[in-house]
Structure 1
């Protein structure tokens, strides 16, 4: 029962932010909500196991990012800038840029959502600025 409540709280807290992320990566007609809804269903069975892992949020984020990426690969690009971002950067870096630069999350919130350390998100953003210098000049993607 406690694990079920913990799972429900985790999903309730993160679903709106997951929806923002999936909505930024995917066109509405390709089903960002379906991607977001599929993630809790896929981790529900293993929730107790996930709770024993070093960072459950990181495992859930990885599942979301993977599903969103697969769906993005099967759809017509809706925002070339975002597709280019994922084509030129490792996924974790692109996710950090999308969350912080496009969606306006702070470093701490993006790190918490991805199950990463804030220093990891900062390093990803610095790497992205080196690889894609125009990012430093753009207010939003």
Structure 2
């Protein structure tokens, strides 16, 4: 059964709101990971193209923000294969930590988001971000001590 035009409009409006809310933070994240403007735009653009194409399905899932965040991670990973790391300490995070830990450090320590904003952006519980920061501190204390995180 096809949704009514009014329902489709509400869905489209939801997608527009989601995009407007998250685009600046997605761009900052991708820029910190990739550094090359064309790669950043490509990764974020592909992420939102995925989200728009899958929007009705995503709305029915329990973790819309998490699903789109995972797509952003994937797109950034694809783009990063073509470019050398911009900041070595950021590359080290992703080489040595689980993705949620590395993302938590990048968002909270490098980009200055608070834990609640980072958890909202990634679509995970606050405790997952806090645990990610603890894991990073335990496993990469030399980066913390040098002020890289």
- TM-score bin, normalised by smaller chain: over 0.9
Question: Is the Cα–Cα contact under 8 Å of residues 97 and 128 in structure 1 kept in the other structure?
Answer: yes
Matched, 1:55 2:63: yes
Q: Secondary structure at the match of 2:117?
A: helix
Please give the alpha-carbon distance, in whole angstroms, between the structure 2 residues aligned to 1:77 and 1:136.
Answer: 19
C-alpha RMSD of the superposition? 1.3
Q: How many residues align?
A: 141
Q: Secondary structure at the match of 2:132?
A: helix
Please give the alpha-carbon distance, in whole angstroms, between the structure 1 residues aligned to 2:31 and 2:22.
Answer: 14
Question: Is the Cα–Cα contact under 8 Å of residues 93 and 127 in structure 1 kept in the other structure?
Answer: yes
Please give the alpha-carbon distance, in whole angstroms, between the structure 1 residues aligned to 2:110 and 2:15.
Answer: 28
Please give the alpha-carbon distance, in whole angstroms, between the structure 2 residues aligned to 1:112 and 1:84.
Answer: 24
Counterpart for residue 42 of structure 1: 50
Q: Which residue, 104, 122, 125 being the options, matches 2:133?
A: 125
Deviation sequence 1:9-52 (CA, Å, 0-9, x none): 00000000000000000022552011111111112121111111
Q: Which runs of 5+ in 1 are unaligned?
A: none
Please give the alpha-carbon distance, in whole angstroms, between the structure 2 residues aligned to 1:105 and 1:86.
Answer: 18
Q: Which runs of 5+ in 2 are unaligned?
A: 1-8
Normalised by the length of structure 1, the TM-score is 0.94
Counterpart for residue 112 of structure 1: 120
What does 1:90-109 correspond to in 2, within 5 Å? 90-109=98-117
Question: Is the Cα–Cα contact under 8 Å of residues 30 and 75 in structure 1 kept in the other structure?
Answer: no
Deviation sequence 1:84-119 (CA, Å, 0-9, x none): 111001111111110001000000000000001111
Runs of 4+ displaced beyond 6 Å: none
Question: Is the Cα–Cα contact under 8 Å of residues 35 and 67 in structure 1 kept in the other structure?
Answer: yes
Which protein shows a greater Rg?
2
Question: Is the Cα–Cα contact under 8 Å of residues 57 and 113 in structure 1 kept in the other structure?
Answer: yes
